[in-house]
Structures are given as structure tokens and as C-alpha cells.
């Protein structure tokens, strides 16, 4: 978030809330992710309207990319399922935060297809650290889980907007999904190729912990993709992992996308009951369940 904008935001809040928000900004907000807002929308799949569906709401780390060099995990994710038994709908879009996925209408478009019994996987955070108000992206959410807001005249959209916290947008998505009779699941963030003393980064500021806290409070599953993939990467070693981050430290190749997709499937299979157990392909059935938790 732009520091001056953040300061003005804090001035509109009670002192205690402002101090907490400032601490979150100073200590827990990582650099914004490289922008891949130009990622194309997911290709329209031939959906069978009589089948249950698994929807993915997310950003460029899940969205359809531009080939072997950069791909989102929700693309190979479909390979883990028998598509004669379930629809896998990748609604992720590059460059979006929890906030702009809602304000641009992408969330409502996804929700329009959701029916009772479906699963909705929700993963945001890497773009929520951006500026709240500027003329190029204006995609940041207020750091944290509270109910504080900031009113802006959006320099990008030219519209008046009330901006909420990261936690507020996640709670909205959970509530909207449940209102449709479907099951929401929150996901931890994908891994960045950042290493210290042989250990890969396992935290994106506090966004993983915040997502886990929202899930716990709402009583919905949280799949800690971050911890699961980090363990695999450390087993592989830093040099091998570098080969799957060709563009930058945030966006991975198709091989990296598949590793993240397998981690999501592994987390689903560790749930009791496993909500996807009846829909797995042979590739999905071969994945071992792995439950992960946030400390």
C-alpha cells in the first residue's frame, strides 16, 4: 500500500485499530507480486450441468498462463479428476486481489454457476499488498481481519468505493458460497522462490495466517498449500526449484503448477470426509493425503 494513502486510512480509524493496522503494514506486508494482469481468462470448458463442480477463485498463481514457462496450478489441477464425474471450473484471473476479484464482478460471475453440493476453493493474498488507490492497479485490501474500511474515489476505475480488509473479502466469499448450499475451502498461498539458509520462504507476510484464522472462525476447511509445497521444495533443493521459476520469484512453470495442484489434492484427501473422493482420476487417486496446520 502507498504509505501516504495508508497513513490517511489509519487517521480515519480508532487509535488502537490504527496502531494494529500500521504494525501489520510495517511488519507483515511483503513486496507486491510481479504483475501478470494480462493472463487470459480460463478457456470455457464443456461443462455438464448435471454434474457437481469444483470452482477455483484466485489470481495468476492459479489462472491459465501462457505456456510451459508460466502456468497457474488450477490448470493441471483438472487432471486429478474424472471430468465425466465432476466439472472443474478455473475462474482465477491474473492480477486480482480478494478485493478486485469482488469489485470487478468476477466473484459474482463465478457464484452464478455455483449450486448446492459444489466446492469453491478460494486463494488470495499475493496481490492484496498492492496500492489501495492509484491510477494503474488500485487492488490492495486493508491488511488484517477487522471491519475497518476506507472510502476512496478510485483513480483507476473513476468510481467511489468502500475498501475493506483482506479478512472481510474472504468472509464475504465464504458466506456467499454457503448461501448457495455449496462448500467453501480457503487455501494457503503458493510458494515464492525465496530462500534463506537452505529454507524456502513459508510466509507471505501474515496472509497465510490470516486466511487460516478466517477459515477457523467460519468453521470451514483450510488447506495449507504453503507448508505442503515448501516441504516438497526443500526436499528437491534450491537449484532444482529455481528451474521452475523462469519469469520471477512468484510465478512458476507448468511443472511448478502441477506440484502445487498435487498439494491441493493432497489436502483435500486429508479432510474427513474427503469432499472430492468420488471424483478423482487415476492421477488423483495416486496422491497421498497430507494434512497441514498453521502454528
Report which DSSP code applies to 97.
-
Q: Which of 24-33, 59-68, 225-234, 244-253 has the lowest mean pLDDT?
A: 24-33
Q: Which residue has the cell 474500511?
A: 149
In a 3-state reduction of DSSP, which class is residue 199? strand
State the number of CA atoms in the 13 A half-sphere of 34 facing the CB: 13
Quick one: pLDDT band at residue 68, thresholds 50, 70, 90? Answer: confident
Q: What is the pLDDT of residues 157-216, one digit of tens each?
A: 999 999 999 999 999 999 999 999 999 999 999 999 999 999 999 988 899 999 999 999
Distance (Å, rounded) from C-alpha 7 to C-alpha 17? 13
113-166, pLDDT tens digit by residue? 999 999 999 999 999 999 999 999 999 999 999 999 999 999 999 999 999 999
pTM for this one? 0.86
Q: Where are the domains of the chain?
A: 37-129+171-285
| Distance (Å, whole) CA 216 – CA 211 | 9
Q: What is 37-129+171-285's CATH number? A: 3.40.50.1110
The proportion of the chain whose per-residue pLDDT surpasses 70, expressed as a percent, equals 83
User: Which residues lie closer than 8 Å to 256 by C-beta, 6 or more apart?
Assistant: 71, 73, 244, 245
What residue spans of the chain are helical by DSSP H? 3-11, 15-28, 74-77, 98-103, 106-111, 166-179, 207-218, 225-236, 238-242, 254-269, 282-285
| Whether the Cβ atoms of residue 136 and residue 152 lie closer than 8 Å to each other | no
Amino acid at each position: 500500500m502507498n504509505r501516504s494513502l495508508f497513513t490517511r486510512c489509519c487517521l480515519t480509524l480508532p487509535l488502537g485499530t490504527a496502531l494494529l493496522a500500521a504494525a501489520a503494514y510495517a511488519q507483515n506486508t511483503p513486496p507486491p507480486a510481479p504483475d501478470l494482469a494480462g493472463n487470459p481468462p480460463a478457456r470455457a470448458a464443456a461443462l455438464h450441468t448435471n454434474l457437481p463442480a469444483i470452482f477455483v477463485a484466485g489470481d495468476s498463481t492459479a489462472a491459465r498462463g501462457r505456456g510451459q514457462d508460466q502456468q497457474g496450478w488450477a490448470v493441471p489441477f483438472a487432471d486429478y479428476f474424472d471430468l465425466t464425474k465432476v466439472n472443474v471450473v478455473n475462474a482465477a484471473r491474473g492480477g486480482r486481489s480478494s478485493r478486485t476479484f469482488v469489485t470487478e464482478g468476477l466473484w459474482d460471475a463465478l457464484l452464478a454457476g455455483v449450486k448446492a453440493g459444489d466446492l469453491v476453493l478460494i486463494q488470495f493474498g499475493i496481490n492484496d499488498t498492492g496500492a489501495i488507490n492509484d491510477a494503474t492497479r488500485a487492488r490492495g485490501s486493508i491488511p488484517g481481519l477487522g471491519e475497518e474500511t476506507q472510502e476512496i474515489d478510485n483513480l483507476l476505475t473513476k468510481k467511489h468505493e468502500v475498501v475493506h480488509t483482506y479478512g472481510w473479502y474472504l468472509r464475504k466469499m465464504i458466506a456467499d458460497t454457503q448461501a448457495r448450499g455449496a462448500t467453501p475451502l480457503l487455501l494457503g498461498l503458493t510458494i515464492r522462490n525465496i530462500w534463506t539458509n537452505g529454507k524456502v520462504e513459508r510466509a507471505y507476510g501474515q496472509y497465510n495466517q490470516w486466511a487460516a484464522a478466517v477459515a477457523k472462525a467460519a468453521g470451514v476447511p483450510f488447506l495449507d498449500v504453503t507448508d505442503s509445497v515448501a516441504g516438497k521444495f526443500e526436499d528437491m533443493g534450491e537449484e532444482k526449484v529455481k528451474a521452475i521459476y523462469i519469469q520471477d520469484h512468484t510465478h512458476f512453470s507448468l511443472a511448478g503448477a502441477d506440484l502445487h495442484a498435487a498439494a491441493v489434492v493432497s489436502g483435500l484427501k486429508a479432510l474427513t470426509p474427503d469432499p472430492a473422493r468420488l471424483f478423482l482420476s487415476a492421477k488423483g487417486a495416486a496422491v497421498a493425503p497430507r494434512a497441514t496446520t498453521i502454528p
